[in-house]
Structure 1
Amino acid sequence: MAEKLPKKDVVIVGVGWAGGIIASELTKKGYDVIGLERGKDRDMADYLHGHDELRYSTRKEMMQDLSKDTVTFRNHTKMTALPMRQYGAFYPGDGVGGAGAHWNGQTYRFGPYDFEIRSKTIERYGEGKIPNDMPIQDWGITYDELQPYFEKFEGMAGIGGQEDEGPMAPPRRAVFDKNGEKKKYPVGPMKVSPMMKMFMDASTELGYNPYIVPTANLTEAYTNEDGISRAACQYCAFCEHYGCEYGAKADPVVTVLPVAKQTGKFTVRPHSTVIKVLHTDGKASGVVFRDTITGEEYIQEADVVVLTSYVFNNVRLLLNSKLGKPYNPETQTGVVGKNYCYQVQQSGASLFFEDKEFNSYAGAGALGAVIDDFNCDNFDHSDVDFLHGGALRVMQTGKRPIATNPVPPIEGLPGWGKEWKAATLKWYHRNVSIGGQGASLPNRYNYLDLDPTYTDDYGMPLIRMTFNYHDQDKKLSKYLAEKAEEIGKKMNATYIKVNGLELGDFNIANYQSTHNTGGVIMGNDPETSAVNSYLQMWDADNVFVVGASAFPHNSGYNPTATVGALAYRAAEGIEKFIKEGGSLV
């Protein structure tokens, strides 16, 4: 029999960026909040002596244990899904801070087109431009409405960027005070490295509009409005897969969670896996969780239940709790599991320079330059057979020696042995990659549901991911690859290896991006969305589901800033619900 714990105002399931923001905002208002986290507790001391590529990058110490809990995968419904037992395409985090503890820090906003994608597409091209199997929809909120929440996230995290980003980047307001002036970013941009300058110069010569990537790696010492002070980035290049021992990289552990803890109103309970949301007649009463150390089960009652875990876990918990109507791809009815999206990440060009060397080992998670000329609806799509687009960028995130051994496409060069080793030494510092990050738009047959065969450690069904690339993705990938090649030629590379010209089936074995989205999508209509614009469930008004699971599609940008903005809006909505009750829209 599960032990019942004292009731709280709010219970949060998952203590990463979304959970940390909700906890910080509500505890500052005096509400009692408990955060349940399946992994271990973590603080900044855990990041010391962390520059260990084998431990963190190769063996994935900060990621979830796939032997206990994972996803099953198939490309289509005629395949049998199998569990992912070795890390490949994406890296869900584990422990306090979640994936927000081991991210790179690239902090773009989604663009105005994203939030009204269906309306704006029809307005410009007509409804016939949208394929029948592509259920794109507006988000139920506009860019202008979400902009104050973007600004709140950026102020909290100390996001740095270029004041004049040109006409293609999402628009910004000058709202941050700095030395008596109003600025568009709390702090300035990262330094421009030689490879960035080459990319920016070449892009400009071609008529494009490059700018410096917005960064959560602090470019100077910074104190935010909550009084949290952090040091500047040292350009050590140990960002993704790692925590930052300087606190320079914004993550929940060094920003929002200390604020919540200082109130005395927040409790983190690590090693606690939530297995069910308890609910009756459209109201949740709390959650059931299992202590992963002792195996004991507990009931945590609360007035409000907030799911803030990773995309797969948010969807899986709702399905295992029988909360919300599961999506059916054949009838296109139901909403939980709908519009699972990823990212079109294979397109780009790997450049090699006989006459130039770059200090590729140094860098930072968000040290880079980008163009948005082919992102969102920034170019005329009348003569192309796809919607949206993607970013093209050069990133200097650090080339660690175990994982990175680039060699050019030289005829006759072997893929192993003495000659290959000599080539890796020569070209290690002579390589620059132009990476494409394409939008992932929904397809009716890309979705999440419960696996009928495989279970986790506790006998609960795993989440099953059905996902493949379709014509939209393949044509977009080819388009971005050709543009990357064009820029590479303008940079006068000696050798160019173009990637993504022909996109086959999605392969879960190779890393691409941890930008998984969708499954509990937002919108204005309960028939086509699971949550409203405050991320409040239509089917249970005291349940909020916060995270990238709310995205009806994924953009050509990294998702974290949009997750953060939506989390601040959700926190505002939760407080309003506690005071007034009922649906918020």
Structure 2
Amino acid sequence: MTTRRTNPKVDAVIVGFGWAGSLMAAELSRANMNVVAIDRGPWRDTFPDTPLTADPDELRWKTRRELLAPPHDTTLTMRNTLDQTAVPQRDFGISELGGGVGGQGFQWAGMAWRFNPWDFRVRSETIERYGMARAEDGELQLQDWGITYAELEPDYDRWEQIAGVAGQAGNLRGKLTSRGNPFEGPRSREYPTPKLKTLRMMEIFNKATSEMGLHPFTIPCANVSQAYVNPLGVTMAPCTYCGFCSSYGCGNYSKASPQTCVFPALLNNNPNFRLITNACVTRVNKAADGKSVTGVTYIDQNGSEVLQPADIICLTAFQMENVRLMLLSGIGKPYDPLTSEGVVGRNFSFQTVSGADLWFEEDHINPFIGAGGLGSQIDDYNSDNFDHSSLDFIGGAGILTLSRDGTPIANANKLPPGTPRWGSGFKRAYSNYYQNYGVLFNQGTSMPIKRGYLDLDPTYKDPFGLPLLRLTYDYARNDRAMATFTMNRAIRGRIAVQRLQLRRETIHHGDRRVKPYDRWRRHGGRPDQFGGKFVPSKLGLPQRLRRRCIGLSQQRWVQSDGNRGRAGVTRGARDLRKLRSQTRRIAEGLTNGRVEKHYWCARRCGLRWLSPPGGQSLRFKSIARR
């Protein structure tokens, strides 16, 4: 590391130049503030990285994941319990960070969800409806967000307009429309572009679930359905349903990304903005009083240590990187799992997801045609949309199907059990089953627990000699019960469930004793330190849209006077024995076949799937076309 140097002071530094960072940079620089954004990755754009004139490279982008940051640059250590020694992840796992500017927003799938109003007040709503004992069971550590759906709705709307989200409102200014999601919170206006097309797998799902009295709707998707010009003046082209969305950049300029929706407006002759790439921020610098910040220190691409002074620091990197940077900088009190005191690193949680691969005989699903976030979902069993009084958990899952991921290499493994994996038998089977393959899964909640947290690892360090982030987490009893219930509901709903996987999040809350931020994500309520992506729990929808809305609400505070010169369902079988006995009963609406039985068990080091001997293949005869 060479001699330290100091850059000229600016009004605001943004650490991490993805969706949240680019949106804040655009809004703040437009308000005449001098802004510097710093990103550890290289410059990346639709052209020349993923242009329309080049064929999508599945091997490069989907299999080798070359758009992601390599694990040796961004890994963390993990353990399940406090008495274990954490070890580093050696492959892509829960930390799939984008490998360049734009972050994961460049190659994301494009589901553009809003959370249910219940999701923002999960602790208060649980106590009001089910009593204190349900909220404080000795393991869970529930928290409200400190901000309500109504307060965030204008920022939801603002981001959707910037991204050109395609969808159909289910609740428009408090009035149900009967076309969209009837369980969503009130929207102030319709989506900016109409919902995407309904493809074959969605037709099958919609018909089966409607006949059960459920409420299917098209998932809101950040792929514009028609030509569109966003509020920043950027033009987007209609989606062509090429199927290359998740893990790919969009050469057609149809999928919303920072590169497509924000960069053209932000970077076009903007004297108030500067971007520094290939630079890793190692700490936020505090003033002598320890109560305010003066800037950041970063290592540039030449290995030089650089100081960047600023009045306001915005941490908008991947949420786990934000936590690590706060811990390295001594900002906030680290969480202590033994006393439940402290705020930074508190309440790590995943998203509990279960699903199934399906093959429909005598049909033509054609998974190659689709879009990353295109599908149908029911929210009848999500959030608190059903009565939990007789159940032993809170939360739920959205049950959905997707019309995407028809990539030939990846799908070569998606064949019914017993299918030859080599030779002419494999070729015949794949040529048949590729065209009638579909997917279903439950996208479920995961509630925070007292022993789920992030801190700095005492042993392992990064290339700069700084401690890696350590994750301590094991699945909560609540989430196991929820997964069993929703798996059973999927089976009883003519949907066969096959596998379980998980995702992640961390914390934001309105109680100053258990949070590092106030409602504007200012650390300790101070006007110069902004945190990025902190939530109290992981709910039954992806977090990406919420993060972008929080970024917009932060910039509104900076520019405002606040800155001052700165439906009921019944209980089904929940135990595993009853669940297993019911897997044989595949019913009329979707199927006329057999289900392959897969069960999960929780082990000390995580979840593992067990297939009982003689498991039967999952094949269906499709319902008649409409």
TM-score (norm 1): 0.90
Contact 2:193 2:226 in 1 (8 A): yes
Give yes or no for the alignment of 1:69 onto 2:53.
no
CA drift of 1:89 comes to: 4.3
Contact 1:522 1:531 in 2 (8 A): yes
Q: Which amino acid in 2 is paired with 1:121? A: T
Moved more, 195-204 or 156-165: 156-165
Contact 1:454 1:461 in 2 (8 A): yes
Match of 1:348 among 355, 360, 365: 355
Give the alignment's Cα RMSD to 1 decimal. 1.9
Distance 2:509 2:257 in 1: 28
Distance 1:89 1:307 in 2: 20
Give yes or no for the alignment of 1:545 onto 2:531.
yes
Match of 2:134 among 120, 123, 129: 129
Match of 1:428 in 2: 434
SS in 1 for 2:74: coil
Map 1:100-139 → 2, pairs under 5 A: 100-130=105-135, 131-139=137-145
Distance 1:356 1:468 in 2: 41
Classify 1:416/1:308 alpha carbon distance in 2 versus 1 (closer, same or farther; 3 Å). same
Moved more, 479-488 or 102-111: 479-488
For residues 468-513 of structure 1, the C-alpha deviation after alignment (integer angstroms, 9 at most, x for no partner) is 2121121111222222223336xxxxxx5x325xx7xxxxxxxx56
Contact 2:181 2:217 in 1 (8 A): no
Match of 1:161 in 2: 167
Match of 1:574 in 2: 558
Classify 1:250/1:227 alpha carbon distance in 2 versus 1 (closer, same or farther; 3 Å). same
Map 1:476-495 → 2, pairs under 5 A: 476-488=482-494
CA drift of 1:64 comes to: 1.0
Distance 1:7 1:388 in 2: 47
Give yes or no for the alignment of 1:170 onto 2:184.
yes
Distance 2:122 2:423 in 1: 50
Moved more, 255-264 or 120-129: 255-264
Distance 1:322 1:50 in 2: 47
Classify 1:579/1:381 alpha carbon distance in 2 versus 1 (closer, same or farther; 3 Å). closer
For residues 166-219 of structure 1, the C-alpha deviation after alignment (integer angstroms, 9 at most, x for no partner) is 5643133353xxxxxxxx111100000011011011111111100000010110
Give yes or no for the alignment of 1:517 onto 2:519.
no
CA drift of 1:439 comes to: 0.9
Give yes or no for the alignment of 1:309 onto 2:312.
no
Distance 1:264 1:468 in 2: 48
SS in 2 for 1:476: helix
Match of 2:543 in 1: 559
SS in 1 for 2:92: coil
Classify 1:10/1:140 alpha carbon distance in 2 versus 1 (closer, same or farther; 3 Å). same
Contact 1:38 1:271 in 2 (8 A): yes
Contact 1:348 1:485 in 2 (8 A): no
Match of 1:8 in 2: 10
Contact 1:16 1:308 in 2 (8 A): yes
CA drift of 1:109 comes to: 0.2
Classify 1:50/1:450 alpha carbon distance in 2 versus 1 (closer, same or farther; 3 Å). farther
Give yes or no for the alignment of 1:404 onto 2:406.
no
Match of 1:22 in 2: 24
Classify 1:33/1:317 alpha carbon distance in 2 versus 1 (closer, same or farther; 3 Å). same
CA drift of 1:50 comes to: 5.8
Contact 1:168 1:373 in 2 (8 A): no
Give yes or no for the alignment of 1:81 onto 2:86.
yes
Contact 1:286 1:302 in 2 (8 A): yes
Q: Which amino acid in 2 is paired with 1:287? A: V
Match of 2:102 in 1: 97
CA drift of 1:78 comes to: 2.1
Match of 2:521 among 516, 522, 535: 535
Distance 1:279 1:402 in 2: 50
Contact 2:164 2:256 in 1 (8 A): yes
Classify 1:330/1:174 alpha carbon distance in 2 versus 1 (closer, same or farther; 3 Å). closer
Contact 1:10 1:304 in 2 (8 A): yes
For residues 545-568 of structure 1, the C-alpha deviation after alignment (integer angstroms, 9 at most, x for no partner) is 122xx1111111111111111111
CA drift of 1:424 comes to: 3.3
Classify 1:577/1:92 alpha carbon distance in 2 versus 1 (closer, same or farther; 3 Å). farther
Distance 1:405 1:214 in 2: 29
Contact 1:434 1:484 in 2 (8 A): no
Give yes or no for the alignment of 1:266 onto 2:262.
no
Distance 1:569 1:286 in 2: 22
Give yes or no for the alignment of 1:51 onto 2:60.
no
Map 1:58-457 → 2, pairs under 5 A: 58-130=63-135, 131-163=137-169, 164=177, 165-166=179-180, 168-175=182-189, 184-262=190-268, 263-280=270-287, 281-291=290-300, 293-345=301-353, 347-405=354-412, 413=419, 419-457=425-463
Classify 1:414/1:47 alpha carbon distance in 2 versus 1 (closer, same or farther; 3 Å). closer
Distance 1:25 1:323 in 2: 26
Q: Which amino acid in 1 is paired with 2:405? A: G
Classify 1:52/1:409 alpha carbon distance in 2 versus 1 (closer, same or farther; 3 Å). closer
Distance 2:423 2:33 in 1: 62
Larger Rg: 2
Q: Structure 2: which 5+ residue stretches go unaligned?
A: 170-176, 567-626
Question: % of aligned pairs identical?
Answer: 37
Moved more, 573-582 or 299-308: 573-582
Distance 2:420 2:473 in 1: 34
CA drift of 1:407 comes to: 5.1
Classify 1:166/1:226 alpha carbon distance in 2 versus 1 (closer, same or farther; 3 Å). closer
Classify 1:50/1:332 alpha carbon distance in 2 versus 1 (closer, same or farther; 3 Å). farther
Distance 1:7 1:530 in 2: 26
Contact 2:75 2:95 in 1 (8 A): no
Contact 1:311 1:516 in 2 (8 A): no
CA drift of 1:578 comes to: 8.8
CA drift of 1:396 comes to: 1.1
SS in 2 for 1:136: coil
CA drift of 1:258 comes to: 2.3
For residues 147-177 of structure 1, the C-alpha deviation after alignment (integer angstroms, 9 at most, x for no partner) is 11110111111111013445643133353xx
Contact 2:446 2:539 in 1 (8 A): yes
Distance 2:130 2:138 in 1: 15
Q: Which amino acid in 1 is paired with 2:292? A: K
Contact 1:363 1:396 in 2 (8 A): yes
Q: Which amino acid in 1 is paired with 2:67? A: M
Contact 1:275 1:288 in 2 (8 A): yes
For residues 374-400 of structure 1, the C-alpha deviation after alignment (integer angstroms, 9 at most, x for no partner) is 111000011221111111110111221
Q: Structure 1: which 5+ residue stretches go unaligned?
A: 176-183, 490-495, 504-511
For residues 492-535 of structure 1, the C-alpha deviation after alignment (integer angstroms, 9 at most, x for no partner) is xxxx5x325xx7xxxxxxxx56x5311xx322222111111111
Distance 2:209 2:488 in 1: 14
Distance 1:116 1:186 in 2: 28
Contact 2:181 2:216 in 1 (8 A): no
For residues 294-350 of structure 1, the C-alpha deviation after alignment (integer angstroms, 9 at most, x for no partner) is 1011000001011000011100000011111000111100010001111101x1232
Task: Tell me which of the two structures has the higher relative contact order, counting C-alpha pairs closer than 8 angstroms and 6 or more residues apart.
Answer: 1
Distance 2:302 2:41 in 1: 14
Distance 2:243 2:257 in 1: 16
SS in 2 for 1:580: coil
